[in-house]
Copies of this chain bind each other. A is one copy, B any other.
């Protein structure tokens, strides 16, 4: 009874383990929860929920509303909770990440060094902004979910973001210096 379907389906199960929700709710919840390392679009969520319901992993209840479309509330079944647990135990399947910045940088010689500098500077700004958000989110979590047993796990994922963004910032700074040196050599020639 493998009940196939990739990590996307499991992410839906996971979010529903936090309480009954509609597809719309799920979409809205993502940026505040797993948004730093996962994303789902409507095109995945709605068909995904339908499929999970067909497999008996979630239950659907329709809530009438006046003046608005019905809300379709989904909640985990016992089977769904088991399926989630099984998947959580499986080893993580490693993928080769695709990093367009590095791809462009690798071929940076084809283009003036200033072009690469701009790309790296954009990356730097992005991660500085991320770091600010991580800090804010961590504080908000501790305020609003201070004694939720899930909290330590949520903080671990945030901490990952902090570690890697800090490292990326440092790399950007070093790389900008190196690119600066290359730029000078280009312009100066022997003298």
Contact = CB atoms under 8 A, between A and B. Distances in A.
Given A88-B110, A88-B111, A110-B17, A96 B35 contact: yes
Contacts of A170: 163
Interface string A7-29: 10011001001000000000000
A1 interface: no
Interface in A139-169: 149-150, 152-154, 156-157, 159-160, 163-164, 166-168
Contact of A7 (B84, B103, B149, B164): B103
Nearest to A169: B163
Nearest to A149: B109
Interface residues of A, number: 65
Contacts of A39: 96, 98
Contacts of A7: 98, 100, 103
A103 to B, nearest CB: 5
Contacts of A109: 149-150, 153
Interface stretch (A46-54, A57-65, A67-75, A171-179): A171-179
B164 A107 contact: no
A138 interface: no
Contacts of A89: 111, 115
- Secondary structure type dominating chain A contacts: helix
Contact of A157 (B36, B105, B159): B105
A98 B182 contact: no
Interface centre among A106, A108, A149 (most CB of B within 10 A): A106
B182 A159 contact: no
A11 B103 contact: yes
A168 to B, nearest CB: 7
